[in-house]
Amino acid sequence: MMKKIFAFLFAAFAASSVVAQEAPDALIRDVTEDVLEIIRKDKDIQGGNTQKAIELVDKKVLPHFNFQHMTALAVGKEWRKASPHQQQQLTAEFKTLLVRTYSNALTSYKNQKIVYKPFKMNAGDTDVLVRTEVLQPGSKPVQLDYSLEKQESGWKVYDVVVAGISLVTNYREQFTQEIRNGGVDGLIATVAAKNKSLETNLVKVEKK
């Protein structure tokens, strides 16, 4: 369930840099509807073409996320102990993990609809929460909330909360354990190995 819902994490931000200058609620609403319409018409993605979904995420989504902030939150207090090079490696591997894990969820899209909750923002706010709800045929609605921060280039997502579960804190316990066992380098190695496994599985599926 978590992986399928997190498909909207990426689908909701595949847009041009111009759109990124919109208000945060408008950004999510306009781009979500645009991208979901593309997915509805893309038979390759609907047919399970994960590689095409990955290419969509790589090309359209990444500019709208602050992956360094996301990684820092997922790693927790150990982030400050990591060297700049280790932080860079962790960010790159975590980004790859998210992209490869949840691009697959795009291929499971089955006409879910999004309800956009009322949004209030005070003048000068630089950190906001945009609340939405995913309506799924035959299932209960799922709350999907986006945390965004304002940067010079526009609003960036740094966390998503699905049914009360934060994306970054969902990884924190696992990451903390890996650092406890093998240090920051151990965590980097573990995430890199997971990415390699996902890549290998993708190649196997494509060859079938």
43-60 confidence digits (pLDDT tens): 887 777 777 777 777 766
- Give the number of other Cβ atoms within 10 Å of residue 115's Cβ: 12
Q: What average pLDDT score do residues 187-201 get?
A: 89
Using CA atoms, how far residue 148 sits from 37, 101, 156, in Å, is: 23, 22, 5
Between residues 30 and 119, the one the model is more confident about: 119
Residue with tokens 């932080």: 87
CA gap 93, 99 in Å, rounded: 10
* Residue 79: predicted pLDDT: 96
* Residue 12: predicted pLDDT: 54
- At 114-168, the pLDDT tens digits run 899 999 999 899 999 999 998 888 888 889 899 999 998 888 889 988 888 998 9
Between residues 187 and 28, the one the model is more confident about: 187
**Domain span holding position 137:** 2-207
Q: Which domain CATH number covers 112? A: 3.10.450.710
User: Residue 100 CA to chain centroid, in angstroms?
Assistant: 10
Total number of domains in the chain: 1
Q: Is 22 helix (H, G, I), strand (E, B) or coil?
A: coil
Q: Find out whether 109 and 102 touch, Cβ atoms under 8 Å.
A: no
Q: Which amino acid is at 91?
A: T
